[in-house]
Chain A
């Protein structure tokens, strides 16, 4: 170990992350014998202790849930279908799409000082978006007050534009925290395949050779003119072979939420995603490269129909290195 102070290691040592490891003894030796390490240790220990005090003080401050947020949560839980669709629209807006006003989105307090300082009127940057948000929140306060005053009957009169068969109102989509694909969705996974296969444990022949259909093409196909050039990228038979139970994965956000959950658990990069079956049951079959498990071999992860429904939960059915 070099005598040059390793601040990562020293922070781990001070924070107890090395306890019980050989590194702890080595760092202790360096601190005892090397003046640079000793000085850095003393300084960092005192500084980290001060930080801990500050953080505890932060936690001791009570930040009650704003009443408007309480009302909004109450309304959301009384009408989860409506708010699922709202979540979709919010996410669309966050990624540059339309962000229509939604009744019932009553929430936080207005932020006059900071909002005014964020940018000039009529701008197009983040400041403008934040002002729009603030305006919506402020406008929503009256709706929240209505909820508080009149209860569920008032909420029921809010326009929801949902429950009309839209996929975005499905229960699974409600669980996805954001409904639009992340910017890296195309780079990591790049879309989905739908092979129509029924995989078995230890038998994933051909999975690595599948060519996913880009999300954009899938979206074009499902929502627009299916004879257009992008739709032509989607093999005509694909839709027919996707198990209906996997219908929510036709939206890139649902796929991304699922892949995010899988990556979070296994690490690595998604090579291909196949909306298929596993031992007869509908499943999202994912092939990962450079996963944290699997001994360096590509890793197959089979996820159930509820993959990503809870953020971070892949609904794992099976995983094993690719044979």
Chain B
């Protein structure tokens, strides 16, 4: 006979409460439930697997220890994403160097070659954006979060998210060769001041 893992049916808030109440498995279950998405966001934001792993570990330890700070005014996933993104941004700002471009040694079977080339180009270009634009684009354009949710995660106004995304796209357009005059995109600022 083989033991069949039983899915934990508790919702995220219940798991967080259970963790605070001393349930040793609850936080792990919560992490396991959202780990892939959190990893993806960390990876695209950091642009480097090792740095992404470091940032994700920092973030999850923070969340583990400070679970009682969850106020319940947003979804647990939003709270977790906020912590992960902030850990990434903190790490990037402290490094004061542009993140490196991920290397193609992993997942070579995931995408066919032509897509893979585009993917690496886009990732490389993404890594050249200011971190505020990059984090907004990772959430909204790469992973399809609503502008409102991205605004909640990044704790800025929705207009700021729209501006960061718009200017980030414009800058990427130059970097990716979609504009005949890439210098045009180089002049694009970080975000619109009004609405911030």
Contact B66 A175 (CB under 8 A): yes
Interface residues of B in 168-184 (CB under 8 A from A): 169-170, 172-173, 176, 178-180, 184
- Residue tally, chain B, CB below 8 Å to A: 80
**DSSP class of B's interface residues: helix, strand, loop or mixed?**
helix
> Are A310 and B66 in contact, with the CB atoms below 8 A?
yes
| CB <8 Å contact, B43 and A73 | no
Q: From A66, A134, A178, give the contact of B90 (CB < 8 A).
A: A178
- A57: chain B residues at CB < 8 Å are 115, 118-119, 122
- Could you say which of A54, A73, A137 contacts B60, with CB atoms under 8 Å apart? A73
Given A7-B185, A61-B119, also A73-B50 (CB < 8 A): no
Q: What is the bound-complex CA distance between A222 and B93, given in angstroms?
A: 27
Given the known inter-chain contacts A69-B56, A107-B53, A111-B105, please indicate yes or no for A12 contacting B162, CB distance below 8 A: yes
Nearest B-chain residue to A108, judged by Cβ: B49
Give, as a whole number of angstroms, the nearest-CB distance from A272 to chain B.
22
- Identify which of A15-23, A211-219, A236-244 touches chain B: A15-23
- Report how far A51 CA is from B59 CA in the complex, Å: 30
Which chain A residues in 49-72 approach chain B with CB under 8 Å?
Answer: 50-52, 54-59, 61-66, 69-70, 72
* SS of A interface (majority): helix
Known: A54-B118, A59-B143, A69-B53. A112 touches B105 (CB 8 A): yes
**Is A94 located at the chain interface by the 8 A CB criterion?**
yes
Interface residues of B in 38-75 (CB under 8 A from A): 39-40, 43-44, 49-50, 53-66, 69
**B-chain residues with CB within 8 Å of residue A110 when the two chains form the complex:** 105
From 259 to 315 in chain A, residues with beta carbon under 8 angstroms from any chain B beta carbon are 260, 264-265, 306, 309-313, 315
Bound form: Cα–Cα A306–B71 in Å: 14
**9 pairs of A and B residues whose beta carbons are closest in the complex:** A15-B166, A47-B173, A47-B178, A312-B86, A17-B162, A55-B141, A311-B86, A11-B170, A59-B142
Chain B interface (Cβ < 8 Å from any Cβ of A): 27-28, 31, 35-36, 39-40, 43-44, 49-50, 53-66, 69, 82-83, 86-87, 89-91, 93-97, 100, 103, 105-107, 110-111, 115, 118-119, 121-123, 126, 137, 141-144, 155, 159, 162-163, 165-167, 169-170, 172-173, 176, 178-180, 184-185, 187-189, 192, 194-195
